[in-house]
Amino acid sequence: EKIPFELLDFNLGERWIPIDYYSRFASHLFELNTEVKYFSSLDTFKVNAKLTNAKINQEYAVTTKSGRPTYGDALLEYALENTTPFYSYEIEVAGKSTRVPDSEAI
């Protein structure tokens, strides 16, 4: 029986979707030539933008409280792998340094 389109469910990073679709999506998203590769032996994606622009460096980037940026191409890798980056920063509690999650950046 044919399944109606609205009942189909798929996510970014599905392994059965041709890798060229992801490259075209990334190129459109970042507005520059971007190549996505999939390494089945590691079950990981690598996003490689040939150049950089404001879309990658600012619009789709995250800067943590510690000031370290994660750029759009790296964030797309997390999305393709259905994972979430973990960011933390250091605070002083009762005279001791401790690291806490940077919930806003995450």
Reported as a single tens digit per residue, the pLDDT across 17-58 is 999 999 999 999 999 999 999 999 999 999 999 899 999 999
Residue 12 pLDDT level (bands cut at 50, 70, 90): very high
- 87 in Cβ contact with 75 (< 8 Å): no
Amino acid found at 38: Y
Q: Give the pair of three-digit tokens for residue 80.
A: 């393709």
Whole-model pTM? 0.86
Contacts of 18 (CB under 8 A, 6+ apart): none
Which of 81, 45, 75, 46 has its CA nearest to residue 58? Answer: 75
- Across 11-20, average pLDDT: 95
pLDDT at residue 10 tops 90: no
* Beta strands, E only, 12-85: 34-39, 44-49, 62-63, 69-70
